[in-house]
Amino acid sequence: MGLMDGLLGNYSEVSKDELHNQYGQYLMPDEKIEMGFKLVRDTFIFTEKRLILLDHQGVTGKKTRIHSISMDSIFDVTIETAGTGFDDSELTIHYIVSPYYRANNVQTTTYTFEFGKKFNVQPIYVALTTLAHENRTKINQ
């Protein structure tokens, strides 16, 4: 079902060892992978410091765009659970892209992930919502 999920735009979980073997060279010193997911060729990895998005491009997939989102920049998370039919679960993170989180004109953006209806996205949502709450508290002190 993994390939079918990938073709339908859904991420499937990948082992930490496999992620480290394939993408360990992109980790900062002492950074550890918490969990990761793959969609056909694209991957996203949670570490304790950031979320790493790997977008393999082109026919061969050799060209790769890598984007990092700092965990301390996430300030809100929304979830849309799967319904009937072909509906999937969506998890959207809202994060700050400005270098200074307490600036007057803070710039923000979002990133949305789609998971298959059989994947339990709730634990990821709870973990990220807890993180977002802690981040808002720190920013607004």
Rounded distance between C-alpha atoms, residue 109 and residue 79, angstroms: 16
Residue bearing the bigger pLDDT, 102 or 129: 129
Helix (H/G/I), strand (E/B), else coil: 56: strand
The chain-wide mean pLDDT, for the chain, equals 84
Rounded distance between C-alpha atoms, residue 57 and residue 42, angstroms: 9
pLDDT one-digit tens code per residue, 75-124? 999 998 877 666 778 899 999 998 888 778 889 999 988 877 777 888 88
How far, in Å, are 64, 78, 132 from residue 17 at the CA level?
Answer: 20, 29, 27
What per-residue string of b and e applies to 80-103 under the rule 16 or more CB within 10 Å gives b? Answer: eebeeeeebbebebebbeeeeeee
Residue 32 has a pLDDT of: 94
Gyration radius of the chain over CA positions = 16
Please check the confidence at residue 57 and state whether its pLDDT lies above 70: yes
Rounded distance between C-alpha atoms, residue 102 and residue 26, angstroms: 29
Model confidence band, residue 1 (pLDDT cutoffs 50, 70, 90): very low
Closest listed residue to residue 132, CA positions, set 100, 110, 105, 116: 110
Residue 120 has a pLDDT of: 81
